[in-house]
């Protein structure tokens, strides 16, 4: 039956992942440079909010676990392992997810999820570029170092630097650059 597929596509349309047109049906929306800037600015606001709340709550064990995940992804990347993109993506998602879980704001996590969904094609492409993954892993290490100090402002600053760097790389990728 086409009804469940249509309903799923309409739900994707509500999040911006699919464009719905009464005459043309469904299509993948074009993400403009302005969209990328706006979505990453939103991401920065939500991520820095979450990390400020999560910093005093994250355990040493959680920090150690995320250091191990980041290091495993880095080793795979340095070895040229074809599974690097998946390892990086999982480590990235795990780190950002735990921060939002600890922050305890379901609505901010949902808004971030929708924004990240709209950026998913750019994020997926970036995760397949070895140098992009390695840069993000290094930024994640700075975030983990800041979390370990229990300083919410230092952690928020590290997160903001990371998100701004990802935004710049995404704009380069989106606009067809190679660096």
Q: What is the pTM of this model?
A: 0.84
Q: Got the DSSP string for 117-128?
A: HHTHHHHHHHHT
Check if the beta carbon of residue 51 is closer than 8 Å to that of residue 99: yes
Task: Specify the 3-state DSSP secondary structure of 30.
Answer: coil
Instruction: Choose among 3, 38, 18: nearest CA to 117.
Output: 18
Confidence at residue 179, expressed as pLDDT on a 0 to 100 scale? 42
> pLDDT 10s per residue in the chain (179 long)?
778 887 887 777 776 667 788 887 887 777 889 999 999 999 999 999 999 999 999 999 999 999 999 999 999 888 888 777 888 888 998 999 999 999 999 999 889 888 888 887 777 777 777 888 899 999 999 999 999 999 999 999 999 999 999 999 999 987 765 44
Instruction: Provide the terminal-to-terminal Cα distance of the chain, rounded to the nearest Å.
Output: 45
What are the Cα distances from residue 124, in Å, to 10, 150, 167? 23, 31, 14
């Amino acid at each position: 039956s086409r009804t469940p597929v249509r309903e799923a596509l309409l739900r994707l349309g509500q999040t911006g992942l699919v464009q719905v047109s009464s005459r043309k049906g469904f299509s993948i929306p074009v993400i403009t440079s302005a969209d990328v800037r706006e979505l990453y600015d939103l991401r920065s606001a939500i991520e820095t909010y979450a990390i400020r709340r999560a910093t005093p709550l994250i355990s040493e064990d959680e920090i150690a676990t995320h250091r191990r995940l980041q290091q495993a992804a880095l080793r795979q990347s340095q070895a040229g392992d074809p599974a690097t993109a998946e390892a990086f993506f999982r480590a990235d998602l795990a780190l950002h997810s735990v921060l939002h879980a600890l922050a305890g704001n379901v609505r901010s996590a949902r808004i971030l999820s929708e924004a990240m969904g709209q950026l998913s094609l750019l994020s997926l492409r970036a995760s397949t570029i070895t140098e992009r993954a390695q840069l993000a892993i290094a930024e994640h290490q700075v975030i983990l170092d800041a979390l370990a100090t229990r300083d919410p402002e230092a952690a928020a600053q590290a997160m903001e630097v990371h998100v701004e760097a990802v935004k710049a790389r995404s704009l380069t990728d989106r606009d067809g650059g190679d660096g």
